[in-house]
Amino acid sequence: MTPRFDAVVVGAGLAGLAATFALARQGAKVALVDRRPFVGGRAYSYPHPVVGEVVDSQHVMVGCCTALRRLCADAGVADRIKWYDAYTFLEPGGRRTVLKPSGLPSPGHNSLSFLAAPMLSVADKVAVARALLPFLRGYPATDEESVAQWLERMRLPMGAVRHFLYPVIVSALNDVPERCSIKYAGQVFHETFLKSAEGGRFGIPTLPLSEFYGVVADDAMKHGASVWESFAVRSVVPSTEGGWVVAGDREELWAETVVLAVPFDQVAPVLEPEVFGRALPLGLEPLVQSPITSIHLWYDRDVVGMDHAALLDTTIEWMFCKSRIRGWEASRGSYVELTISASHAQLRMSAEEIFKAALAEFEGFFPEARGAVLRKHLVLKEAKATFSVVPGLDRFRPAQKTAVPGLVLAGDWTRTGWPSTMEGAVRSGFLAAEAVTGQRVLPDDLPAAGLMKVLAR
């Protein structure tokens, strides 16, 4: 007999987890299915068979991520997030800039450390302040202008772009300035650097990601949800008796409502063309994907002496010392992950070429690594890591509630008001649950602080 549910959520990434979590807590009989044998979607971890280590791609959250923070708090995993108030920028040769709050009211909470920043000249600092001034009240309502066009219009000195604006934008939006809208870059600056000190804090899970987000799935199951892993969905079709049939390789499920919480390129393959056309009348052609490449290094000892840093004037955007973040004993050695955002060039390179280039750059920042034993290394390419917030994309991002009764969409690519982030994914899941039950789930945005209470719109 076909199992029957109030809702079947297809996709156990953060969007699907959030939708399942919210629906289960509202009393719905819900099933969460995913083709993989673990949850988390793109925020996942797994035991790598070659290196014999649990690996994942580094994801961080910031204080303004109210939906993600609510999900973690309600699921009981918030205490496994390590929070930081300071951003460290390193230049080749070791010169260090630390941006951190000073206690002044927002938007000036970072101003003292910014004024003292050695990575920027006086002219650079004046230019950055001038560039961020329009974002005090918010960010553009439309997404037609690209970051590249904005940079050209602002005529900023190269130091301001190279040592602050470009690293922040590329690491946050994961694409080159030509393929990013200034609306979403402005949102990053407004929410994380201007609106409040709390909004700019950033947190890193201290557990491997599938283990971390597995706690969310466990909580949903405690509230009656069922999780079906290794369930590859072949089709989602209307049932002759009403509702929907979700067909897997070995089993079928019936649901009154289906929440399709998969990446945008996986929507059309499981829907009939007529259903797809009604649900997404504008299509999905304008959505494009951007890669992230990560280089994983295991040493016999700590070679960096810090938890994380943004690396300037190099291919690598960020260094994360995951062994420090996760509290490893010194006897286990050190585990470092390097990330390259918008790594289009690396997709055409071999893993060995990427490794050698990254290692040479890394040792330029952390020369102690040259004398340490590199026990293992691994290069991971995520060709479809995020979607790009290309100019003009907003009108193509669909709402969670579609014109097809009983068919709801979720995913960071849907209309969330956020770029491709964990926060955007969780928001979409909460909005999908609201579309199913009509009950409010999404929390309020983080309020402005200090003078921003008056300045922010």
User: pTM to 2 decimals?
Assistant: 0.96
Quote the pLDDT of residue 93. 86
Residue 378: pLDDT band (50, 70, 90) is very high
The residue behind tokens 């202008």 is 145
Sign of CA dihedral 386, 193, 410, 389: negative
User: 128 with 193: CB under 8 angstroms?
Assistant: no
Report the relative pairing of strands 61-62 and 233-238 from DSSP bridges: unpaired
Quote the pLDDT of residue 277. 97
Mean pLDDT for the stretch of residues 210-221: 95
Sign of CA dihedral 80, 84, 87, 93: negative
What is the rounded distance in angstroms from the CA atom of residue 336 to the CA atom of residue 322? 6
Rg (CA), the chain: 22
Q: How do residues 228-271 score in pLDDT, each as one tens digit?
A: 999 999 999 999 989 999 999 889 999 999 999 999 999 999 99
What is the rounded distance in angstroms from the CA atom of residue 132 to the CA atom of residue 410? 32
Residue 112: C-alpha distances to residues 104, 105, 109 (Å): 9, 11, 8
Q: How do residues 302-340 score in pLDDT, each as one tens digit?
A: 999 999 999 999 999 999 999 999 999 999 999 999 999
Quote the pLDDT of residue 136. 95
How many C-beta atoms surround the C-beta of residue 222 within 10 A?
12
Mean pLDDT for the stretch of residues 210-225: 96
Quote the pLDDT of residue 38. 87
- Mean pLDDT in the chain? 96
Residue 349: C-alpha distances to residues 352, 381, 385 (Å): 8, 10, 17
Whether residue 457 is predicted with pLDDT greater than 80 in this model: the reply is no
Q: How do residues 8-47 score in pLDDT, each as one tens digit?
A: 999 999 999 999 999 999 999 999 999 999 899 999 898 9
Whether residue 441 is predicted with pLDDT greater than 90 in this model: the reply is yes
CA 119 to chain CA centroid, Å, is: 27
The residue behind tokens 């999908």 is 432
Amino acid letter for position 151: L
Closest CA to 36 of 223, 218, 233, 245: 233
What is the rounded distance in angstroms from the CA atom of residue 229 to the CA atom of residue 249? 12
Report the relative pairing of strands 4-10 and 252-260 from DSSP bridges: parallel
Residues 6+ away with beta carbon under 8 Å from 182:
139, 140, 143, 145, 146, 147, 149, 150
What is the rounded distance in angstroms from the CA atom of residue 248 to the CA atom of residue 141? 42
Q: At what angle do helices 66-75 and 422-437 cross, to 10 degrees?
A: 70
Strand partners, 254: 4, 245
User: 346 with 128: CB under 8 angstroms?
Assistant: no
How many C-beta atoms surround the C-beta of residue 171 within 10 A?
18
Number of residues written out for the chain: 457
Quote the pLDDT of residue 58. 82
The percentage of the chain sitting over the pLDDT mark of 70, rounded to a whole number, equals: 100
Q: How do residues 68-94 score in pLDDT, each as one tens digit?
A: 999 999 999 999 999 999 999 999 988
Distance between start and end Cα atoms, the chain: 55
Residue 356 corresponds to which tokens in the numbers above?
């050698």
User: 206 with 322: CB under 8 angstroms?
Assistant: no
Residue 135: C-alpha distances to residues 85, 182, 197, 198, 252 (Å): 21, 11, 16, 17, 50
Mean pLDDT for the stretch of residues 348-371: 97
Amino acid letter for position 152: E
What is the rounded distance in angstroms from the CA atom of residue 310 to the CA atom of residue 44? 23
